[in-house]
Amino acid sequence: MSAAPRTNFPNGMLAGQTAIITGAAQGIGAETAAILAHEGCKVVIADIDAGKAEKTAQAIISEGGSAIAVGGDITNNESIDKLIQQTVEFSNGKIHIIINNAGYAWDDPVEKIGDKQWEQDTIIALHNTAPFKLVRAAAPYFMVKDGEPRSIVNISSTSGIHGNAGQASYALAKAGLVGLTKTLAQEWGPEYGVRANTVAFGAIKTRLTQAPAEESFVIRADGTKHAVGFHGGYDEEEKWVGDIPLRRIGSPTDAGRAILAVVSPLFSYVTGQRSSLGSQNSGSNNRKVSGGRGGM
Ligand SMILES: NC(=O)c1ccc[n+]([C@@H]2O[C@H](COP(=O)([O-])OP(=O)(O)OC[C@H]3O[C@@H](n4cnc5c(N)ncnc54)[C@H](O)[C@@H]3O)[C@@H](O)[C@H]2O)c1
């Protein structure tokens, strides 16, 4: 057996690559973008909150990274076209990585979930239709044979794996991403070498999962605000950690590093898989329905 070479990436593990990260203005997406940029990746900060997206891109640039912000609602076809076009201009015609991360929950028990809350421009549209349409629009940049790595990561949730009382729409949508991921791996893997994987988070401390603050709202497609966060959330850490194997809530850095691992060359032979972070092993997350204020 020959000695294994020491892995060494002097220009970063993702040098020469370009990534689109949706929902990257803040939280897990913003941290992931910064981590990928630090590994030499050009990052596209796509978010409905254009102002915050621009600030995030500027912060990455000020740290020596390469980034642009593209504002727009990812459930809108024109926004997807604009995102692809501006990415390709930024990257000289190549896209290597898509991270479908934009998302939030709009909780209610099954009998109370309204149609708008279920589909249209909200949960199913954002978590399932938008990732599908973005990947479809990017197909010409993934179905290529230039020998360069290509990878898609769909961000799921342990709600989609185990279910979670009060999150029927979110759980269905997050479970659906697993099927999309595996299908992409089968369609684009054999001929083009594209890898597709799901990363399912259990408990990551972001504004979605902590007590509501001034800025705790998601901008909906129609411009209205949807309150997120919930009292008794992960800022009260001790309440939640009992069945988390590492007995702590994850940080956006924990989340972003896991995503980096999946898109990195270290995972070059991993596709069609799901990684779970901070996951309970079985059953429901036992979260109380939060009256329209989404959890994870
Ligand atoms: N925080 C957790 O514990 C947790 C657990 C499991 C899964 N997740 C998932 O991780 C992802 C990131 O969540 P987060 O906790 O960082 O939340 P966050 O609210 O901090 O970030 C989500 C981002 O998505 C953006 N977004 C929402 N709707 C959009 C749209 N229509 N078009 C474009 N951008 C849009 C928001 O503006 C926001 O910047 C989500 O998909 C979420 O469901 C989070």
- Contact between 70 and 21 under an 8 Å Cβ cutoff? The reply is no
| Coil, strand or helix at 108 | strand
Minimum CA distance residue for ligand 1 atom 18: 27
State the pLDDT at residue 115.
86
DSSP-derived secondary structure for 151-178: EEEEEEEHHHHH--TTBHHHHHHHHHHH
Residue 58 in any domain: the answer is yes
Residue 86 in any domain: the answer is yes
The predicted-structure confidence for 41-53, as pLDDT tens digits, reads as follows 999 999 999 999 9
What is the 47 CA–ligand 1 centroid distance (Å)?
A: 10
- Contact between 52 and 218 under an 8 Å Cβ cutoff? The reply is no
Ligand 1 atom nearest the C-alpha of 201 is: 6
> What is the number of helices (H) and of strands (E) in the chain?
10, 9
The first and second tokens of residue 199, run together, are 């990363």
The first and second tokens of residue 268, run together, are 């070059």
- Looking at the chain, list the stretches that DSSP marks H as alpha helix, in order from N- to C-terminal side: 27-38, 50-62, 77-91, 115-118, 123-124, 130-137, 139-142, 158-162, 168-192, 252-263
Residue 194 in any domain: the answer is yes
Q: Which run of H or of E encompasses 213?
A: none
Which residues of the chain are modeled with pLDDT < 70? 1-2, 120-121, 279-296
Please give the residue range of the domain that contains residue 248: 18-277
49 pocket-lining for ligand 1 (C-beta < 6 Å): yes
Residue 114 in any domain: the answer is yes
Residues carrying an active site annotation: 170
Confirm whether pTM is higher than 0.85.
Answer: yes
CA 278 to chain centroid: 16
Q: How many residues would you count in the chain?
A: 296
What is the 101 CA–ligand 1 centroid distance (Å)?
A: 6
What burial class does residue 268 get, using C-beta atoms within 10 Å of its C-beta: 0-12 exposed, 13-18 middle, 19+ buried?
Answer: exposed
Residue 13 in any domain: the answer is no
The predicted-structure confidence for 9-58, as pLDDT tens digits, reads as follows 999 999 999 999 999 999 999 999 999 999 999 999 999 999 999 999 99
State the pLDDT at residue 230.
82
Minimum CA distance residue for ligand 1 atom 38: 23
State the pLDDT at residue 109.
95
208 pocket-lining for ligand 1 (C-beta < 6 Å): yes
The first and second tokens of residue 50, run together, are 């254009």
285 pocket-lining for ligand 1 (C-beta < 6 Å): no
- Contact between 124 and 169 under an 8 Å Cβ cutoff? The reply is yes
State the pLDDT at residue 296.
62
177 pocket-lining for ligand 1 (C-beta < 6 Å): no
- Contact between 39 and 266 under an 8 Å Cβ cutoff? The reply is no
Can you give the CATH number for the domain in which 203 is found?
Answer: 3.40.50.720
Residue 184 in any domain: the answer is yes
Number of domains in the chain: 1
Residue 200 in any domain: the answer is yes
State the pLDDT at residue 1.
62
DSSP assignment letter at 194: -
Residue 285 in any domain: the answer is no
Rounded Cα distance between 213 and 170, Å, is 22
| Coil, strand or helix at 200 | strand
157 pocket-lining for ligand 1 (C-beta < 6 Å): yes
Distances (CA, A) of 239 to 159, 233, 291: 18, 8, 19
The first and second tokens of residue 223, run together, are 């411009």
Ligand 1 atom nearest the C-alpha of 156 is: 7
